[in-house]
Amino acid sequence: MNRRDFSKAAGTMIVGGMVPIACSNTDENPSYEDLVEEIWSHSPPPIGQGSDLMFELVRYATLAANSHNTQPWKFKIESNRISILPDFSRRCAAVDPDDHHLFASLGCALENMALASHAFGLQEFVTLGEDFIQVDLEPRRPDESALFQAIPERQCTRSAYDGRSVSVDQLALLEESANEHGVATQLYTDERALEAILEYVVAGNTAQVNDEAFVTELKEWVRFNKRSVAETRDGLFSAASGNPELPTWFGERAFSFFFKADTENDKYRDQIRSSAGVIVFTAEQDNKEGWINAGRSYQRFALQSTAIGLKHSFVNQAVEVPHVRSQFTEYLNIGDRRPDLVVRFGYGPLMPRSLRRPVDQVII
């Protein structure tokens, strides 16, 4: 069967309904739609105190962006202290061999937790240890910031955008929100720079798509239909990247067949060329503390951009493959600092949401 035959067969099976993707919703097995509504919402008042409040802070933390949506975190609650811990059983050895993204993901969770603490009248005092983040909480005046308000709205939107540019004032607001925790950002909006960045993304993507370990790992985290996302409540929902829903067995075969460098690179060309800009995050230090701070800074950018109606998505291929990252670092002219994260932004549609595991599953 060649690629065209396969595609035709896939189309016929989906449209003709030969491949049922059955969904039976019960209280024990809520539907994808019910879970989206439950997960992506603000806590209904009253919030409560003590352990109820701590639980809510953890819930907001889990709404953060995280690499491959593995949700590589655990939380320990002790009185007025919450520790955020890495869950190394969810690390991605192929795409993230040094756990850079894992610790950046913990930073994203920490930032959400800090913003939620402020909203509920608590001030966080953060201690970073070797493999833990300790957050001690003390009373303060409540502050429901626009960033906090945006937490349930934020998503990584992996579609083409509409090409509109972002005003200078809004760009300044985005930079201001991100330039915290010692992280520097570089913002690019002119066509020549975006084309240059695209070349690094394409080079990184080509290397990754041709790397069997990368592809095998990615496939393990792709969820091909709503039922599978609702069951695992983690991973990358293929529909969120604009792909049709497929039964898992069929999706896995289709993935191996269609996931090719050329087609993926064409997607990234469309996506970057339709974006208003790209922002690069570079922490002061290339160590766990720096990676956590890069995650915090990205999360602030993501929430601020959501608050002003923008969409964004990572294009980290330029920093994930070491030899491409060295060349990209030279292009950025940042000396021997390591560029941590690369994100495009612009105006675009809302895509299907990712899910999160139940909060009690991540509390130890």
Ligand X SMILES: Cc1cc2nc3c(=O)[nH]c(=O)nc-3n(C[C@H](O)[C@H](O)[C@H](O)COP(=O)(O)O)c2cc1C
Strands 277-282 and 184-188: antiparallel
- Interacting span for ligand X (CB under 6 A) from 100-108, 111-119, 141-149, 187-195: 100-108
**Torsion angle in degrees (nearest 10) through CA of 130, 133, 138, 144:** 150
The site that binds ligand X (CB under 6 A) totals a number of residues, namely 18
Q: CB neighbours (10 Å) of residue 257?
A: 14
Structure tokens at 215: 């592809």
Identified binder of ligand X from the candidate list 236, 254, 280, 332, rule CB under 6 A: 236
Q: Please measure the distance between the N-terminal and C-terminal CA atoms of the chain and give it in whole angstroms.
A: 49
Shortest Cβ distance from residue 313 to ligand X (Å)? 6
Element (H, E) at 222: strand 222-223
246 three-class SS: coil
Shortest Cβ distance from residue 316 to ligand X (Å)? 3
Binding mask 270-299 for ligand X (x = CB under 6 A): -------------------------x----
Site for ligand X in 123-162 (CB under 6 A): 155-156, 158
Identified binder of ligand X from the candidate list 120, 316, 339, 362, rule CB under 6 A: 316
Shortest Cβ distance from residue 204 to ligand X (Å)? 9
Instruction: Note whether 298 and 343 are within 8 A (CB).
Output: yes
**Torsion angle in degrees (nearest 10) through CA of 159, 294, 179, 349:** 10
Nearer to ligand X, 6 or 221 (CB): 221
Q: CB neighbours (10 Å) of residue 38?
A: 12
Shortest Cβ distance from residue 207 to ligand X (Å)? 13
Nearer to ligand X, 158 or 227 (CB): 158
| Residue 57 in contact with ligand X, rule: CB under 6 A | no
Residues of the shown chain interacting with ligand X in the complex, contacts defined by CB under 6 A: 65-69, 101, 104-105, 108, 155-156, 158, 236, 295, 313-314, 316, 354
